[in-house]
Chains A and B, each alone.
Chain A
């Protein structure tokens, strides 16, 4: 793609906040030689802006590289740009960016999903081979489903969070968007593994994911949890799932009905715990050391209040307030403590189910891409868009959204695969069986 063509596309889609004509780093050689990557603007790239889609960091420049970015660059990857996103990764439509909404290339009146919408679109239009996203409750898988891209969220702790601006530390996971499974597998191999700078990164050996792409899925047990097939799923998505089931059976997989009884609490648990962590994680944006500071404050309190009121957008403020509330004395036990207990129960559901199955198959989203503005005035309906994706963040399990077809309106449909922790290889081998290259049908 010529840079002029990319500029044109970006004018209508707004997926990049910054395009680099030349990579802003030294070019190295390694396993990923020449792989073009886009980086969600929540990840640090030395010497470049790190806006997180927020006015409060509009002029902030990072002093260092995120571990995942550093590992990709040293393996020979080339950074082509930094992508737009919902402010501080809070949102499911990419309409919460201080730098304008991102549009879906399949239908520019529709959203690309969020929060990693910019990375999803950058991948869908072919401007890069892989785009880094982050996934706290579905922020990779949901936009992947909406744009026909492959979205991988590995196990929590698989990839270092160092350099990922925290939204909810115990949920945030770095992952990938790609057109091919090979690009995802090779990138994850490079990025995964223990990092001394992130205490929560896992010291677990990294598999060669690209090898599992030629693996055999015969005999794998695929769980179908009734809780993931409730009301509100579009008929075309249900139909797509049936096709996928048939493909898997044909490949020798065994379908097993399972139950995940605590799934119904996922959204509530998710919004209590992630907002609690966010309220604390975002306290550092106070206008004192860096970032936006209100002009004209007359006291310390005014500096805080006005800098933050003016610097943060609606959704971020809503979540900070929610999180502050659930941590407040008098409410802490009723909300935070209980949500932690239920989080353990949901994790237990996963532990139990993975004793009898190798993977879960679910829809990624109840609907395909919705219209811009459609859910803006109704945050609750927006939150419900993550209903099938949040559980894997609550449990930390690896999960992927794989494109499997288009709906009657020509919009991509994604299905979700979830496996037990650190079983990414199983995800890849199953994904290989069901993946449909819908992007070849995208006309720009």
Chain B
């Protein structure tokens, strides 16, 4: 589409994010929320909706949503109630979902997002409420549909934003900020691919300069950060095209097809469900005291943006490093623990730990499909390894070779280096002796070097290093080779 036409319009975007809570048990029974397990094994009469069973609220769900409310500057309602959302579906055992309707526990908050150009933008949070997940219908058995209720009753929070975003980049930044907050709060693992973070986008467009919102559609099926961005872009283009062709945008639910990068209508809102919400009579109203809010507030850790700013300030790290290190709370914790374990904390060593963490350590995570926690690398071991490099005991090269062996290893880097005799040779006499042996064996190359082939310098260094089993102190070796060549 013509960019001139495109720029006539302003997109308006709001996101609804479902985050699965990391409570050990389900929202209203004591079944485990652990992922996996044979179908229907994480169930009990309550989450199977057997007659006579009643829900009881998991206190941790309440604690978690209050954390989220505080972190997103929401007002926390002193009294809120649960509501039943009624509809029939095979993976919804009770025939209704316990949710919240007109009294969401958190409302009227905001978060600050950071855009790619470094600008910050405040996005309003309309509401955050508690609800339970449904089970899973599995349709890939011919004409049969099978139902797995392991997920039924797993606690979710739904975070609804104001229609404050004006581009897919802003939506992406908002979602990134939400993920960062929930993971820092320890209430959700933030994994979109596995469905622990799910996102629907409300999208509309209007002519620039006009006040009135255009007709919005709801885009579903957004199971990765990338797809959220692509789907919103596709929907904006579709809506502009509809209007430019003289058509009208309908109130529809759209599905995103990631293969074709297109949005398609799933159903029109006119034939939407009537959920017949009404107050859940099996649960009592949730009352939140000021003392409770203060107690929860005390559990809230430093969030990503504050931590990043502190890393820049206290460790004099570049913004890039601080951003990368703090995206994931566990990584940031790992980094800080490594620094704490350091004997001498020069900026140079800190930067070196940053480099190792962002580079070699993160590469290991990808290769081993691990998280910083599951990897099993002790922060103190990384600190010790870097110290061995900076005090000249081992070379950088040896450190990098050694690093992959450290996760899960009972021995410290120092012990391994000693055991294997990997300690770097910085003894000048020994180095000169080795250099002279190499020079004596290569009179031709010395002649060539002297006649101007200076790049043979590397040859002499390399041969000596090889003869010493890679353990020569590289800086010192360079100096001494230069000296010996001059003498030769």
Interface residues, chain A, with chain B CB atoms under 8 Å away: 43-44, 50, 52, 57, 60, 62-64, 66, 161-166, 168-170, 196-200, 276-277, 279-280, 282-284, 286, 288-290, 300, 304, 324, 327-329, 332, 336
Contacts and interface: CB of A to CB of B under 8 A. Distances in A.
A164 B56 contact: no
Residue among A60, A286, A332 facing the most chain B CB atoms (10 A cut-off): A286
Given A161-B54, A288-B147, A324-B276, A200 B88 contact: no
B258 interface: no
A442 to B, nearest CB: 33
A63 B45 contact: yes
Given A283-B88, A327-B276, A162 B53 contact: yes
A284 B276 CA distance: 15
B94 A283 contact: yes
A44 B51 contact: yes
Contacts of A43: 52
A196 B29 CA distance: 11
A280 B84 CA distance: 8
B281 A170 contact: yes
Interface string B53-92: 1111100000000000000000000000000101010100
A282 B284 CA distance: 20
Contact of A288 (B45, B90, B283): B90
B302 interface: no
13 contacts: A63-B45, A64-B50, A161-B54, A163-B52, A163-B53, A166-B51, A166-B52, A197-B56, A199-B57, A289-B49, A328-B274, A328-B276, A336-B278
Contacts of B281: 168-170, 200, 277
Interface string B134-170: 0000000000010100000000000000000000000
Nearest to B48: A289
A135 to B, nearest CB: 16
A202 to B, nearest CB: 10
B301 interface: no
Contacts of B282: 166, 169, 199-200
B410 to A, nearest CB: 45
A347 to B, nearest CB: 15
A283 B45 contact: no
Given A169-B281, A284-B93, A300-B90, A198 B52 contact: no
Given A280-B84, A328-B276, A199 B52 contact: no
B443 interface: no
Interface string B387-421: 00000000000000000000000000000000000
B376 interface: no
A283 B48 contact: no
Contact of A280 (B45, B56, B274, B278): B278
A304 B88 contact: yes
Nearest to B87: A283
Residue among A66, A166, A199 facing the most chain B CB atoms (10 A cut-off): A199
Residue among A60, A165, A284, A327 facing the most chain B CB atoms (10 A cut-off): A284
B95 A283 contact: yes
B315 interface: no
Contact of A199 (B49, B145, B284): B284
Residue among B51, B84, B88, B145 facing the most chain A CB atoms (10 A cut-off): B51
Contact of A290 (B50, B57, B274, B278): B50
Interface in B87-109: 88, 90, 93-96
A205 B57 CA distance: 23
A198 B95 contact: no
Contacts of A283: 86, 88, 94-96
Given A200-B282, A283-B86, A165 B52 contact: yes
A63 B278 contact: no
A198 B54 contact: yes
**10 tightest A-B contacts by CB?**
A283-B95, A169-B281, A327-B276, A165-B51, A170-B281, A284-B49, A163-B52, A44-B52, A165-B52, A288-B90
Given A162-B52, A288-B147, A328-B276, A280 B90 contact: no
B94 A64 contact: no
Interface in B263-309: 274, 276, 278, 281-284
B20 to A, nearest CB: 23
A162 B50 contact: no
B274 A199 contact: no
Contacts of A324: 276
Contacts of B53: 162-163
A280 B274 CA distance: 13
A386 B50 CA distance: 29
Given A197-B54, A280-B95, A64 B45 contact: yes
A187 to B, nearest CB: 19
A44 B147 CA distance: 25
Given A162-B53, A164-B52, A199-B54, A327 B88 contact: no
A266 B45 CA distance: 35
B56 A196 contact: yes
A276 B278 contact: yes
Given A327-B278, A329-B274, 16 more contacts: A44-B52, A62-B51, A62-B52, A66-B52, A161-B54, A163-B52, A166-B52, A169-B281, A169-B282, A197-B56, A200-B282, A283-B88, A283-B95, A284-B94, A286-B90, A288-B90
Contacts of A329: 274, 276
A64 B52 CA distance: 10
A164 B281 CA distance: 14
A371 to B, nearest CB: 32
Contacts of B90: 286, 288, 300
Contacts of B50: 62-64, 290
B61 to A, nearest CB: 14
Contacts of A168: 281
A373 to B, nearest CB: 29
A408 to B, nearest CB: 42
B46 to A, nearest CB: 9
B391 to A, nearest CB: 60
A282 B95 CA distance: 8
A288 B50 CA distance: 12
Nearest to B57: A199
A50 to B, nearest CB: 6
A204 B94 CA distance: 30
